[in-house]
Amino acid sequence: MKLRYIALLSLALLIITPIQANEKPAPEWGPTGHRTVGKIADTYLKGSTKRAIKKLLKRHSLSFVSTYGDEIKSDDRYREFGTWHYVNMEANQSYQDSEKNPKGDAVTGAEYCIQVLKDKNASDEDKAFYLKLLIHIIGDIHQPMHAGLAEDKGGNDIKVKWMGKSTNLHRVWDSDMINGFDMSYTELAANADALSKEQIKGIEAGTITDWVNETHALANTVYKDVKTGDNLGYKYAYNNLTIARSQLQKGGIRLAKLLNDIF
């Protein structure tokens, strides 16, 4: 891959520096969640957008490439993208008022991806790379714990049990609850809620920053409902799975809105 845009990151955003050896990027929506977002987004894409994306991704679907942001974590060449998966803020704080991560975050990362995709001078190889990252990031910012608190690493340090097995609050929202529902990503996408045109427009409205603030408000609620040591299970899923499904649907609709605007 041509890495000329990587070389421009620190200059363009003044935020990107290598992740230190003792820093580990937090996990996010598991494969099922990311693929669901991609599948839902695909149903809202315009024909011209689909054709442009099909060319860049060499016929691969949004769902297929939606996990790319996680896959490259094992490659040291891409370590500078680790902080693009989340945003940390204090409770009840807005992104605008928060202390920004000097290494970048999901908001600045998504904005940079869009900048590359709109650049007429960018190569198709660069565009394909940042398109895959954008698809992943938009999924991430709809996972409540990805707009959580730095002090507990977005819920990673809140140890709980899921159906009697040790886990943490972040992983519960990342994958435990969704996987426990035992539906494939295609089934989850096919069973997304029916929405009116007005509801869809309402979801599409706003900016990436607005969407992060919305997710952060949801994260505050999630924190209040759980404490370290809780044994979560059927009741928790009953109360929260609808919220998780709604976040996946919003992520898909908003991803499609961004891609339609770009292409």
Task: Convert the pLDDT of each residue in 176-215 to its tens digit.
Answer: 999 999 999 999 999 999 999 999 999 999 999 999 999 9
**Which residues does the chain have with pLDDT short of 70?**
1-28
pLDDT score for 227: 96
pLDDT tens digits, residue range 19-54? 333 333 444 478 999 999 999 999 999 999 999 999
**Distance (Å, rounded) from C-alpha 159 to C-alpha 170?**
9
Q: Are 253 and 203 a contacting pair, CB within 8 Å?
A: yes
Phi/psi at 17 (nearest 5 deg)? -135, 160
pLDDT score for 8: 38
**Distance (Å, rounded) from C-alpha 222 to C-alpha 214?**
13
- Amino acid identity at 26: A
Token output for 148: 């959580």
Residue 58, classified by CB atoms within 10 Å of its CB into exposed (0-12), middle (13-18) or buried (19+), is exposed
**Distance (Å, rounded) from C-alpha 41 to C-alpha 100?**
29
pLDDT score for 236: 98
**Distance (Å, rounded) from C-alpha 150 to C-alpha 232?**
23
**Distance (Å, rounded) from C-alpha 28 to C-alpha 7?**
26
pTM beyond 0.85: the answer is yes
The residue extents of the domains of the chain are: 4-262
pLDDT score for 171: 97
CATH code 1.10.575.10 for 4-262: yes
Nearest to 225 by CA among 207, 243, 213, 212: 243
Rg of the Cα atoms in the chain: 18
